[in-house]
Amino acid sequence: MNEFEWSPNLAYAVGLMVTDGSLSKDARHLDLTSNDIDQLENFNKCLNTNIKITWKTGGYDGKKFPRLQFSHVKFYRWLIEIGLMPNKTKIIAEIKVPDKYFFDFLRGHFDGDGSTYSYWDPRWKSSFMIYLQFLSASIKHIDWLKDRILKLTGCEGKIRQVKGCYKLTFAKVASKVIIEKMYQDKNCIHLSRKKEKIDKALKEENKKQAGMGKLVNPLP
C-alpha cells in the first residue's frame, strides 16, 4: 500500500470506504463489505494489496457477504484525518479530497451506494429520462456532496429523505455531465455492472424514437 499520496485509484478506494467501509474502535482495523466480489478486487487493485476475501454472516436470514478485513494503523489514521470515523453512518460529513481527484472519489461513492434509472417518458415524444443518485444516511454528508458537485460542475441536485436515508438525485442533463467526469479516463477502475447499465441507458437515450415509459432495470 502506498503512503497515501492522492491519486485516482486512492480517491476511488476512499469512495468505497465512505460508502461500504467501516473503521473499528481499536484504531487499527478496517472492513470493506460488498455484495460484489469485483468491488473488493477493485479495492485491492487500487491500493496495490492482496488482502484475502473472506465471508461474514449478517441480517435476519443469515446471508453471507464477501468482505475485506485488515489491520493498517497508518491507513486508519489517514482516513480519520480526511473525515472518516468509527460508526460513521449517520454522522459522516465532509471528506477532504482534492478537487483534482473528486470525481474518482465520486465514482467510488457511486459504485458503493449509487444508482441510476432511466425510461422513455410517455408524456413527450422522444423523451428519454436518465437519473443519477447518491445515497447516504448522513444529511451532513449528502449536503456536502451536493454542494461539492454544484461547485465543480454547476449541476444542481435535489435531496429527499427515503426510509431514513437521503438521496441526492440529478436529472438527465446534469447526470450526463457528472457521468462524463466520473468516467473521463476510459481505463479507470470501476464496477463493471454499473458502468454497463449506464452505457446501455446512454445508448438508448441517443435513439430518436418514442417509447412508452418502459423502465430500464435500475441499479440496486
- The band of 212, judged by pLDDT with boundaries at 50, 70 and 90, is very low
**CATH tag, 8-96:** 3.10.28.10
How much is the pLDDT for 219? 46
Architecture of domain 109-216: Roll (3.10)
How much is the pLDDT for 4? 87
Each domain of the chain, given as residue ranges in start order, spans: 8-96, 109-216
> What tens digit of pLDDT does each residue of 111-159 get?
999 999 998 877 766 688 899 999 999 999 999 999 999 999 999 999 9
Whole-angstrom distance, CA of residue 177 vs CA of residue 157: 12
170: CB partners within 8 A, 6+ apart:
131, 132, 133, 149, 155, 157, 158, 178
How much is the pLDDT for 60? 67
Average pLDDT over residues 172-195: 97
- The band of 59, judged by pLDDT with boundaries at 50, 70 and 90, is low
Whole-angstrom distance, CA of residue 49 vs CA of residue 192: 20
- In CATH terms, are 8-96 and 109-216 the same topology? yes
pTM: 0.90
